[in-house]
Amino acid sequence: MDKRAVYVFRFPEEKDFTGIALDVHIHKESLRFFDTNRGHEIPGKVTEGTEKDFTFTSTGAIPGEWQFKVLTIFKQNNC
């Protein structure tokens, strides 16, 4: 997890990544981040992770496994 990175995330049981998370970090036993509207603090724990993505198991709001991955923007040569 990189506090300076921008992540996209998806809720448990969702197919697509629909959220954007900024300033993502663990504080005590909660995941903290800001979306484009407000801050969030979700109790739970990180259960898997690499340099580019991680899984957070929420025990609070929308319980279950939230998936986070670093937002990557790339340019296609065909554009």
Query: What does the pLDDT look like over 21-55, one tens digit per residue?
Result: 999 999 999 999 999 899 999 999 999 988 899 99
Question: Model confidence at 58, in pLDDT bands (50, 70, 90)?
Answer: very high
Q: What is the pLDDT of residue 42?
A: 94
Tell me what the pLDDT averaged over the chain comes to: 91
Using the structure block, give the residue that is written with the tokens 């609070």: 60
pLDDT computed for residue 31 by the predictor: 95
pLDDT of residue 65: 95
What DSSP letter does each residue of 47-78 carry, written as one string? EEE-SSEEEEEESSSS-EEEEEEE------TT
In this prediction, residue 7 carries a pLDDT of: 96
